[in-house]
Structure formats: structure tokens, C-alpha cells
């Protein structure tokens, strides 16, 4: 297995276009107990962490169905979105719980509004959006799918 690129990420502030939810800095990976990118292994619950302005609009990276809404002490409020062809499932967390725009079972189009990041836009602060990417096998339910290194898919969506 190839080692992750050890190149440190830039300290450049995130550039964000609120209308398109486009981010220009690659995400920083997190995994429980991991101190550096070298220690991250595929399939151990990898999360991508994006620093975004508080209250930012969050849109669907692909068309699919909201299969579950969640609330966690670690990542806050979020949801799981399963692609229409069931080839990928993504967990997105860090939403303002009062501004999640979708319900479990709802079908959404690519770029459809899902909600807004936690925090007040007027505060001009940064919030964290957590993303986990899972790829189910054909005979496997989405909730048993292994998580994959999220960097490539996330960069493709941003």
C-alpha cells in the first residue's frame, strides 16, 4: 500500500464561495488517536475536516438519499447520504441542528441544499465540517461499508 503524501498542508486561510460551497484548500485528515497523516490507515474511520465560515450553506456532493440523521458529541449534527447507484455513502456532520434542510428518507439532487454549518455567519468565525466517505460492496448494506481515505473524493467535490 502506498504511503500518504507527507507534505504538510498550507496555512493559507480557506477561501469559500457561499453560493457554491466551494473550498480551495485540501482537507486535513483526522482519525481517532492519529497524530500525523503518516499514521492514518484506510478503513479505520477516517474523517476529513474542513474549516468553513460559520453558517455556510452545505450542498449535496452527489444525488442520493438521506439514509440517516445523526447527533454526536464528537462531530455534532449530521447525516448520511447514499448515492443513487449505492456506490458511495458519505457522512457529513457539523450542521446547525436548527438549519438541516433534509429529512431521513428524502431524495436529493446533486448540489441540493442540505443545510448550514453550525455557528452564526455574523460572528465571522470558522467552524469544522466533518466528512467520512464509505464504499459499500454489492452485497453489503451501507452502514457496514468500510471507510476509505477521503482526500481524493472530497477534493473532487470541492
Longest dimension (CA), the chain: 46
For 78, residues 6+ apart whose C-beta sits below 8 A from its C-beta are: 69, 70, 71, 72, 91, 92, 93, 94, 95, 130
Name the residue among 146, 129, 125 with its Cα closest to residue 137: 146
CATH classification of 28-157 is 2.70.70.10, yes or no? Answer: yes
The pLDDT value given to residue 45? 55
- Three-state DSSP at 63 gives coil
Position 31 pLDDT exceeds 50? no
pLDDT greater at residue 95 or residue 36: 95
Average pLDDT rounded to a whole number, residues 99-118? 93
Residue 153: φ, ψ to 5°: -60, -40
pTM here is 0.69
Nearest-angstrom CA–CA distance, 10 and 53:
18
The pLDDT value given to residue 68? 94
Residue-averaged pLDDT of the chain: 73
The pLDDT tens digits for 45-76 are 577 777 778 888 889 999 999 999 998 877 78
* Cell reading at 99: 438549519
- Domain positions in the chain are 28-157
The pLDDT value given to residue 108? 95
Nearest-angstrom CA–CA distance, 139 and 42:
20
Amino acid at each position: 500500500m502506498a504511503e500518504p503524501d507527507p507534505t504538510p498542508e498550507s496555512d493559507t486561510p480557506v477561501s469559500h464561495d457561499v453560493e457554491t460551497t466551494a473550498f480551495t484548500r485540501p482537507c486535513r485528515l483526522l482519525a481517532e488517536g492519529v497524530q500525523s497523516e503518516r499514521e492514518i490507515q484506510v478503513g479505520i474511520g477516517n474523517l476529513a475536516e474542513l474549516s468553513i465560515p460559520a453558517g455556510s450553506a452545505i450542498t449535496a456532493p452527489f444525488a442520493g438519499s438521506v439514509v440517516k440523521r445523526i447527533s454526536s458529541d464528537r462531530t455534532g449534527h449530521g447525516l448520511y447520504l447514499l448515492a443513487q447507484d449505492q456506490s458511495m455513502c458519505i457522512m457529513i456532520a457539523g450542521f446547525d441542528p436548527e438549519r438541516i434542510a433534509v429529512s431521513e428518507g428524502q431524495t436529493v439532487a446533486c448540489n441540493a441544499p442540505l443545510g448550514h454549518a453550525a455557528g452564526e455567519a455574523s460572528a465571522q468565525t470558522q467552524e469544522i465540517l466533518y466528512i467520512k466517505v464509505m464504499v459499500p460492496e454489492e452485497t453489503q448494506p451501507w452502514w457496514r461499508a468500510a471507510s476509505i481515505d477521503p482526500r481524493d473524493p472530497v477534493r473532487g467535490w470541492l
